[in-house]
A and B are shown apart, each in its own frame.
Chain A
Amino acid sequence: MLASRLFFALFWVSTASVAAEPDVARQKELVHLVRQDCGSCHGMTLQGGLGPALLPADLRDKPVEGLAATIYYGRPGTAMPPWKQFMSEAEANWIVQKLMSGFPQ
């Protein structure tokens, strides 16, 4: 029962992320945004700056939803602003997945 629910949940997550995959042109824009604009605090190579490093090893133990929410809504009390005017929640999710698996150049 639990196993089938888990299977269902996994299935749902994977279809959702496939459905949310931005098109190629938009992916290019998002990569540019992350490298150049997120890069002003996190470093263009994402090794950190005023903001923390965002390399796969740094994010490994963090939940995807939490990271996506940090991008989308920001984190009050820190220098991290909300980026929701620049992207959808699905796109924030896509960015997190790419960050966790090694971000494109």
Chain B
Amino acid sequence: MRLILSLCLALLVAACAAPQLRGTGDLGLVIERASGHVTLVDTTTRQPYARIGGLGDLSHASAVYSRDGRYAFIFGRDGGLTKIDMLEAKIVKRVIQSGNAIGGSISQDGRIVVAQNYTPGGIKAFDAATLELLSEVPAEYAPGKFSKVVGLADTAGNKFAYALFEGGEIWVTDFSDPRRPTTQRFPAGSQPYDGLVTPDGRYFLAGLFGEDGVALLDLWQTEKGARKILERYGRGEEKLPVFKMPHLRGWTMAQGKVYLPAIGRHEVLVVDVATWKEVGRIPVRGQPVFVMARPDGRQIWVNFAVPDYGKVDVIDTLAGKVVTQLEPGRGILHMEFTPRGENIWLSARDDNKVLIYDTRTFNRVGEIAADNPSGIFFTTRAARIGF
């Protein structure tokens, strides 16, 4: 028995010494916001396989992936940009690129990583291989006035679309010559809080906080300018307080419709993409934060701002209503589907756990320990436009 054990150990050591070949398609990472760590996870075994520290302030951190799914680029709140090797489970390079950052994106060809910053407001482009600074675009919307940048998303042709919170504009910056970017500006509306590019890369949407509505820009016909959809969806009713800004990304599209969080209303707004008209609204149990479609578009999972962030509502897009209400844990901050959507991973910040659910049976099929987990990012994002 002991011999077998030591033989196994020897085999294990040998396996470590000679790196095993494997792909990265089923890997991902979990942000542990309070401690500056990320935990690397395997969605096939549903287990963590490494933990990396020293990433600074990771509150509101997000990640994008190189096109081969090997490297993660993590944007920290403190302006840190960290490149991680998912296979060797180590930091490859780390730079402090600004004073206060809010996320980033990677270009269509995978060569440029762009960070969006609050302070100083603007975006910066980096060489994805070396993290060398290539160029920057300050968000100076009026002489001497700089805006926080939100909603940065990659679009075709190494262009990036984003919105200016104070500036009330959508900007599209073309990095096809990465050291000499050019920018187009479009009036959008009052206080855009986040943005998204549709999964086909055609439309950029900026959610507005300062007014009821969403700004829409057709990136195939930018000469037509941005227009407003869902105008006055609150119809003059008093808004409920918004204790956390909702987040938008291309995951919000399903079956030809966009499912958007209402601001100050406990509703998900449904918009037909063919007409950009509201076709429904679905009552939910709180201020929606993430409204995320399962990859097949059959379900929409919704989490909420405090004090309702222990709840998750699941909308069935065929039925057009909430069909399942869950109370998975305390402080459900983020959700991520496995590549084909059979499971969803939920971060339960105040339980110090990531919870794994079967999306068909709604049974919990696993959990992993994590210190104040927030964002969960799987490598499948590498191949998606606008992620």
Contacts and interface: CB of A to CB of B under 8 A. Distances in A.
Main secondary structure on A side of the interface with B: loop
A44 B60 CA distance: 9
Contact of B241 (A37, A49, A74): A74
A78 B193 CA distance: 12
B77 interface: yes
Sorting the interface of chain A by its residue count into under 10, 10 to 19, 20 to 34 or 35 or more gives 10 to 19
B34 A44 contact: yes
Contacts of B243: 37, 81, 83
Interface string A17-50: 0000000000000000000110111011101111
Interface in B224-255: 241-245
A56 to B, nearest CB: 18
Interface in B68-95: 77-78
B60 to A, nearest CB: 7
A50 B307 contact: no
Contacts of B150: 50
Contact of A85 (B244, B245, B307): B307
B59 interface: yes
B118 interface: yes
Interface residues of B, number: 28
Nearest to B287: A81
A81 B100 contact: no
Given A40-B60, A49-B102, A50-B193, A86 B307 contact: yes
Contacts, number: 62
A2 B78 CA distance: 48
Interface in A63-83: 74, 79, 81-83
Interface string B238-279: 000111110000000000000000000000000000000000
B57 A79 contact: no
Interface in B115-159: 118-119, 148, 150
A35 to B, nearest CB: 8
Nearest to A47: B100
A79 B148 CA distance: 14
A50 B165 contact: yes
A40 B245 contact: yes
A43 B245 contact: no
B209 interface: yes
Nearest to B101: A49
9 contacts: A36-B372, A43-B60, A43-B77, A44-B59, A45-B78, A48-B118, A50-B148, A79-B242, A82-B241
Interface of A: 36-37, 39-41, 43-45, 47-50, 74, 79, 81-83, 85-86
